């Protein structure tokens, strides 16, 4: 039976999903352990308590986007993106599994929520590095789901948000200038740059999404992937359709080869 007062570990709580989820968790009477690079961002929003507690839900949310064409992003910036989006998430995931299994009461388990925007399910111009790091996180989470012992009662889900109003599109990203070869009008990368600069496409309600995530965290048998937001659902559906088309094409080619032989 699920505990009535759960303990959350929320990674990346300075703004956006992490900040709003921290506030909601506390408003719902549950306990939040919030981590962030600048603790002063939460001053006035919560009361702090240094007590060490077990964790029932881990919201693995930290992210950093190095934005630009592959030729535009310096190697050190690409590495920094992977350090946060993959290696940082890996460290949190490992510790979450250990705490859920060894520190929580027997068979209590826990729920790990890895945040990997829809870009981790497909690609996009100028988001090459960010997309690659999130693809890696998706592969890590897929594999982790397959190797843990079901007896541990640990649930793992990927939360795939779309274009919500957070710092991810502003101060949470570093935009690099396009190389000369990519500055011609009509190129896909220029269209995405214009979309980011305009900002009107980033319009989904973050607080509404956070309420949905909170409800999702209470599902007894949650799916491994859950898309949040209209554009994320659209992207995932498009990727699934494309994968099914590739599979059908491969099967038809194999059938044709058997017939011809």
The CATH number of residue 219's host domain is 3.40.50.720
Q: pLDDT tens digits, residue range 29-63? A: 999 998 876 555 544 444 555 455 689 999 998 88
Is the residue at 244 inside a domain?
no
Q: Confirm if 59 and 115 have CB atoms less than 8 A apart.
A: yes
Is the residue at 105 inside a domain?
yes
Is the residue at 258 inside a domain?
no
Please give the Cα distance from 4 to 56 (Å, whole number). 11
Residue 170: pLDDT over 70: no
Is the residue at 243 inside a domain?
no
Number of domains observed in the structure of the chain: 1
Q: pLDDT tens digits, residue range 87-127? A: 999 999 999 999 999 989 888 999 999 998 876 667 788 89
Is the residue at 260 inside a domain?
no
Q: Confirm if 21 and 59 have CB atoms less than 8 A apart.
A: yes
Please give the Cα distance from 216 to 73 (Å, whole number). 36
Domain assignment of residue 98, given as a range:
7-230
pTM exceeding the 0.85 threshold for the entire prediction: no
């Amino acid at each position: 039976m699920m505990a009535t007062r759960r303990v959350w570990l929320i990674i990346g709580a300075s703004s956006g999903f992490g900040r709003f989820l921290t506030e909601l968790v506390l408003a719902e009477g549950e306990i939040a352990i919030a981590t962030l690079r600048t603790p002063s961002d939460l001053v006035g929003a919560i009361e702090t308590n240094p007590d060490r507690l077990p964790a029932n839900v881990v919201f693995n949310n930290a992210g950093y986007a190095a934005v630009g064409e592959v030729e535009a992003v310096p190697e050190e910036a690409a590495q920094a993106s992977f350090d946060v989006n993959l290696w940082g998430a890996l460290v949190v995931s490992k510790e979450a599994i250990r705490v859920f299994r060894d520190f929580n009461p027997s068979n209590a388990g826990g729920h790990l929520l890895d945040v990997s925007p829809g870009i981790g399910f497909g690609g996009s111009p100028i988001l090459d590095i960010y997309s690659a790091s999130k693809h890696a996180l998706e592969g890590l989470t897929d594999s982790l789901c397959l190797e843990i012992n079901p007896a541990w009662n640990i649930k793992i889900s990927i939360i795939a948000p779309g274009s919500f109003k957070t710092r991810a599109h502003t101060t949470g990203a570093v935009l690099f200038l396009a190389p000369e070869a990519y500055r011609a009008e009509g190129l896909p990368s220029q269209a995405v740059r214009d979309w980011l600069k305009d900002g009107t496409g980033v319009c989904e309600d973050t607080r509404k999404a956070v309420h949905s995530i909170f409800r999702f965290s209470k599902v007894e048998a949650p799916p491994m992937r859950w898309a949040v937001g209209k554009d994320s659902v659209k992207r995932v559906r498009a990727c699934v359709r494309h994968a099914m088309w590739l599979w059908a094409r491969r099967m038809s080619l194999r059938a044709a080869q058997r017939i011809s032989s």
